A = this chain, B = another copy of it.
Amino acid sequence: MATAASTRSETRALDAWVALLRAHSVSTGMLSAELLAEHGLTINDYEALLHLSRAAEGKLRRVDLAGRLLLTASGITRLLDGLEAAGLVGKESCVSDRRVTYAVLTSAGRKRLAKASRSHIASVRALFEERFTNDEVAQLAELLSLLPGVGDADGEACKPS
């Protein structure tokens, strides 16, 4: 039979795991419902626009965007299909390597992101600040970031012709 100590430490890890699953499910449920109802964007739509808006010239290689959103190559194609159809993102090809395609934020995309950000950022802050002190939020972020993340190694930028 397991000792009391090993049983306790086993349940601790399991408790953390279950808490992570539940917290993610309920939080994304709330935030994505709002984002979708008020701005017609999924969380991944929003995150894609956000990453593009922070990149130089508002553009990113599709494969690098996939890495940042934790999507596969085909996942990013399908996500961008929707954003392109909505006129929020455009396509651009690379002269120095014709395999790569860029996703480029359009001005409509930048406007939509700005508008959605006002309410979305407020909701994220509310979600955390209603329940945690500033120190606790920082602590939670730091602990979570120790879990397996993903390296953000972007490929080389496209050389001008």
Contact = CB atoms under 8 A, between A and B. Distances in A.
Interface of A: 9-10, 12-17, 19-30, 43, 47, 70, 121, 124-125, 127-129, 131-132, 134, 136-141, 143-150
A24 B22 contact: no
Nearest to A150: B26
Given A132-B146, A140-B140, 5 more contacts: A9-B134, A12-B134, A14-B125, A26-B147, A132-B143
Contacts of A27: 17, 20, 147-148
**Secondary structure of the A side of the interface?**
helix
By CB atoms of chain B within 10 A, which of A9, A12, A29, A125 has the most? A12
Contact of A70 (B16, B26, B137, B149): B26
B24 A128 contact: no
- The 4 A-B residue pairs with the shortest CB-CB distance in the complex, in nearest-first order: A19-B144, A16-B141, A23-B147, A24-B24
B10 A121 contact: yes
